[in-house]
Amino acid sequence: MIKVFKLNDLIKYIIKGFILLAIATCLIRTGSTRVKSKKNEKINGKAMIDVIDDSSKLIKTVKNNDGAEEQLKNWGKAILNSELPVIDSSKKAVEEEKSEIQASSDSNEVQVEQLEEEKKSNKAEINVKTEVVNNSINPRYDIDYNGVKINNSTGYQLTDEILNADAFEVSKGKAIIYHTHTCESYTPTELYNYESGGNYRTTDLEYSVAKVGDELTNQLMLYNWTVIHDKTYHDYPSYNGSYSRSLNTINQLIAENSDTDIVIDVHRDAIGDSSYAPKVKIGDEYASQLMFVIGTDVAIPEHRNWHQNLKFAIKVQQKANELYPGLFKPIILRNSAYNQYVSKAACIIEVGATGNTLEESMCSMKYLARILNEL
């Protein structure tokens, strides 16, 4: 009796062990097939239930069958033979899933690197040939200060003290871009074709100077600049009062970003003639010519910092003459203030004219960003 009792206990322990093995196997199988169909999960669950039922029947059989030990051995071998391949398959599936995840991660890293390289490759190169393309209007100027030409339409006498920008310091790395005349646009092309709502004007921000501002923003960000680009309409629905409305906008932006010196009001030359398209060829690209318009305190006595605005324009143009000679037309100095008293490096930059295309004007932003970053 003692011998039979011990055998039965042994058999029970063995059966329990096989049951645990069967349960663990089914759990592994279920986990490894999560990437497969739910149908397989149901089958695995049923398989585990069948094993437990068979085990219960076997325990009952053992109590009344002297040959139960041999039957148990056969049953155990059957389980091992049927489940071990499943375990191997499960392990293989898990390893394959890990490999796929790693491959996906590696692929994403490669794509990110490629995008970064593409961005870098879109930066403006230096040491490339630059030549001015002849146009129908020759820009006028009456001052040539160390290679920087200025068209002085004010009554001020521009002394060396006013013009010398060597000691002028400006905070780099941050800029505010906005548009007093947001709807100014260019000659349509196949790629940028639009319906003009007036004399080279459109409210579609994808075809106006706002798009040029987008490109300047993107280019500056390639150099890790922080840029705020405001695309509020200031000349629509009414053109009159544009500067009063843009002043409200820029005052708010300055109040929120008081540490920003560089404030650029991006325009397009107002000459409404498609025959006028000032441009330069830089390498193999055509870019719209740029022009600073700087105001004074003639109309607004509070605009005492206009000397600083002019120095900033001169400093930028000196650097432009080093890198891309001819990209800038002569600076125009006028009696109007143009809201430039908001900052010591506030300015208007006119990008091309009505005869230029949006592609040419966007192209020039690549070179302007490089110049600003090299100051």
pLDDT tens string 182-218: 999 999 999 999 988 778 999 999 999 999 999 999 9
Decide: pTM greater than 0.75: no
Fold of 130-373: Aminopeptidase (3.40.630)
Distance separating alpha carbons of residues 270 and 51, to the nearest angstrom: 86
Beta bridge partners of 173: none
Tell me, what's the pLDDT at 100? Answer: 73
Q: Domain spans of the chain? A: 2-121, 130-373
User: What is the β-pairing status of strands 345-351 and 331-333?
Assistant: unpaired
Query: Hey, what are 212's tokens?
Result: 């040029």
Query: Hey, what are 96's tokens?
Result: 């394959």
- Pair 183, 203: CB distance under 8 Å: yes
Residue whose tokens read 């105001």: 295
Residue whose tokens read 């025959």: 275
Beta bridge partners of 291: 350
* Dihedral sign, Cα of residue 113, residue 119, residue 122, residue 127: negative
- Pair 183, 201: CB distance under 8 Å: yes
> 355 CB contacts (<8 Å, ≥6 apart)?
135, 187, 273, 274, 275, 276, 277
State the burial class of residue 301 (Cβ atoms within 10 Å of its Cβ: 0-12, 13-18, 19+). exposed
> 212 CB contacts (<8 Å, ≥6 apart)?
266, 268, 351, 358, 361, 362, 365
Residues of the chain falling short of pLDDT 50: 1-5, 32-45, 47-49, 51-52, 55, 58-59, 62, 112, 115-116, 118-119
How big is the chain by its Cα radius of gyration, in Å?
38
